[in-house]
Amino acid sequence: MTQPSFAGRAVTRLFVVLNTIVLLTACGSRQPAAPQAEPAAASARNTVVMPAIAYGTTAKGLQLSKKDDPCDVPASLQQAVQDQLIAPYEYLLPARSPGTDGAPVLKIEITDILANAGGLYGGPKIVQLRGTLERSGEPSAGFTAQRQMFIYFGVPRSTCSMVGVVTYALGGDIANWLQKPTNGATLGEF
């Protein structure tokens, strides 16, 4: 085995020295992090109150319940709305708290769920909702919403992962509607 030439060793050493200098310079050049601004507190202007999502009745008059919902749509939908809130709304609270008196109240009920077991092979996944926004000093505004999914290319392909995609899309629809709530709006794929 031949040893590298003097020039080769010198280039290697120079390369190591330069990398060390760059690394030390980069590490030493960091300034202390700027202090973070205090997060805004929930107030009537930046909060939407959303009580527990209820199970309503279908168009045929059947009362829905938790046993009709294998995927816990209320929890998934509440998280989806919270994740996609758009300014001026920053907070989604389950009940009014000190400082949030006068915040709009969004009441949602599930009016139909189709979530047959079998994931991709169990048929379509459908969620229908009805919602009402109550604001102090203004008339209530309501909406109906529906989203569905027939084909799902994601992983996993379970029933609940498909329903989760549907509820996430509905959460975005609701967050957008909150920007300019109009009575009688139809959201999603209605």
- 10 or 39, higher pLDDT: 10
CB 164 within 8 A of CB 156: no
Q: What is the pLDDT of residues 120-175, one digit of tens each?
A: 667 788 999 999 999 999 999 999 999 998 876 666 678 888 899 999 999 999 99
Encoded amino acid at 112, one letter: D
Number of other residues whose CB lies within 10 A of the CB of residue 157: 14
CB 176 within 8 A of CB 89: no
CB 147 within 8 A of CB 112: no
pLDDT for res 113: 95
Chain center to CA of 120? 23
The token duo for 52 is: 């527990």
Q: Is the whole model's pTM more than 0.85, yes or no?
A: no
Q: What is the pLDDT of residues 26-51, one digit of tens each?
A: 555 555 555 555 457 889 899 999 99
